[in-house]
Structure 1
Amino acid sequence: MSWAGTGEAFAASYAALCAGTGERLREIAGPARGRALLDVGAGDGTLAAAWADAGWRVTAAEPEPSMREVARARHPKLPIVSHALPHLPFDDGRFDAVTANFVLNHVPDPRAAATELRRVSRDLVIVTTWSAAPTALWREVTARAGLAPASPARLDPDRDFERTADGLRRMLTEAGWHPEVTELTWTWHVEPEALWQSVTGGVAGAGAFYATLADADRARFRTAFDDLTADRADGGRMPMTQTAAIAVEHVR
């Protein structure tokens, strides 16, 4: 799945959903006390900026140019670099804490990525992945539209992991971690047009699927989306309940 050019669409839509873990992650990390933090896969910089506001010395790493452009426009004081997993050009133990929010579910080699995150931390690593993700909504829209769903993109079996809390724990253990894994469930209330912007902007699997459709099928997809959101919107917003698995590694 390519994220090229999706910065604006992501910032207008799923950035707010992904930020739903932020408060819990900061609770886990504890008071900043001027500690250094690396946020890997920082996207539009929402979470990295929140860490900085909480007193951390933050470096945001984001390899996708359009994401960095949005992050720099929204958070001009935030240090942003283009480095990507699984090779980060930092010394061992360079940062007190390292975070990767909904990143390991997108990299080609999750175990190598997890190993690298641990290498550059001297104290704490926190990663998240989806246990229940927004893809369920788009599967239902696709079914309502009478369209054949796209086959989900999967990694090779020897690199993939089960997208559950237990699956995340097993994968990280194989990468040399001793993780503590919990789950967080919350409800995101989003305007339907923000969701639609994510699709037309090419964000994630739904955006990639929409890009392959002919004009007539795009019209059917939009009609199905409008019908579904009309059925479920509350006060003009869609309530979407999501669950994230959160893994914590104490390096020392």
Structure 2
Amino acid sequence: MTPTAPTTPFDANERTAWAGRAEDYAATFGRLCAHTVPELLDAAEVFGGTRLLDVGTGPGTVAAAACDLGADVHAVDAEPSMVDLARRAAPSARVELAVLPELPFPDAGFDVVVANFVLNHVGRPLLALAELRRVLRPGGRLALTIWSGTPGAGQALIPSALQAAGAVRPPHLGPLDPADDFPRTPDGLAALLTTAGLQSATCRTVTWDHHATADTWWSGPASGVATIGLTLLAQTPAIQSEARRHYDRLATAFHTPNGTLALPHTALLATATR
């Protein structure tokens, strides 16, 4: 039997997509993803002295919060510009470059492993989870978040604007191979954790309204951040302009009295042990 390759074209596209985009991400979607950090660390049961690994640290939001709790923090990210940001955000953490599903740590080296919106950026989620399990000590705890397969209305705003403008997603930005994908539901994520050899897997839904101005929220994809951003930038100038027009029209449903948008989002928060 031919062994499963650890990475896929999806992974290669992710590396290209995020190259040099740390500052733009931190100013836009990074603020969105920061919402789950307190719940993530609470679910992971992080205390002073906890040996914690933050995988896919991005701008270092989770790592910095874990340091504030007194944890002994290591953090990794696959993108050099994210590593630079994380080192500034969490100067007491040890931050280095590393790419799932191969981490530069020995077996059973951590009490806790956390991954905030990371599993949606790997081509082989099951292999990635097996690697996170490997570096956990027996009895250690894993906590992670991903976006739900049933998105909140705010999550659909920009995709709806692109669809209304006739934007077409470039073929190279396609989804996971169906053989590697899994249901983005509480039961589906918990089952994947169990298949990866983790125990006592649980998963729940987390919902919140993300607040941002219309211009700030649009600036993420307009800067090429994430798949939605690369999709926008791949369109003709006319379609990009039309997408912004539809965005402004659709965004009126989310306006608040203080001039921001209140954008409902839905994520999954899962925990398990080794």
> Structure 2 length normalisation: TM-score?
0.85
Other-structure match for 2:142: 125
Other-structure match for 2:238: 216
CA distance in 1, matches of 2:144, 2:248: 34
State how 1:28-177 maps to structure 2 within 5 Å: 28-122=43-137, 123-131=140-148, 132-133=150-151, 135-145=155-165, 147-150=166-169, 153-177=174-198
Do 2:186 and 2:204's aligned partners in 1 also have CA atoms closer than 8 Å?
Answer: yes
CA distance in 2, matches of 1:45, 1:160: 27
Alignment-mate amino acid for residue 245 of structure 1: L
Other-structure match for 2:8: none
Do 1:130 and 1:164's aligned partners in 2 also have CA atoms closer than 8 Å?
Answer: no
Q: Note the alpha carbon deviations across 1:77-120, whole angstroms, 9 max, x for none.
A: 43211012101111111111000111111101100000000110
Aligned residues: 250
Other-structure match for 2:4: none
Q: Note the alpha carbon deviations across 1:188-224, whole angstroms, 9 max, x for none.
A: 1122222122112211221011111111111111122
Give the root-mean-square deviation of aligned CA atoms: 1.8
Other-structure match for 2:203: 181
Q: Note the alpha carbon deviations across 1:38-78, whole angstroms, 9 max, x for none.
A: 00000011121011111111111011012122223444443
Other-structure match for 1:13: 28
Other-structure match for 1:200: 222
1:101–1:238 Cα change, 3 Å: same
* CA drift at 1:231: 4.2
* CA drift at 1:31: 4.8
CA distance in 2, matches of 1:27, 1:75: 19
> Structure 1 length normalisation: TM-score?
0.92
CA distance in 2, matches of 1:175, 1:103: 16
Alignment-mate amino acid for residue 145 of structure 2: T
CA distance in 2, matches of 1:229, 1:212: 22
1:233 aligns with 2:248: no
Do 2:106 and 2:135's aligned partners in 1 also have CA atoms closer than 8 Å?
Answer: yes
Q: Note the alpha carbon deviations across 1:127-174, whole angstroms, 9 max, x for none.
A: 1111144641222212343x1442772211211112222221222222
CA distance in 2, matches of 1:105, 1:60: 18
Alignment-mate amino acid for residue 156 of structure 1: D
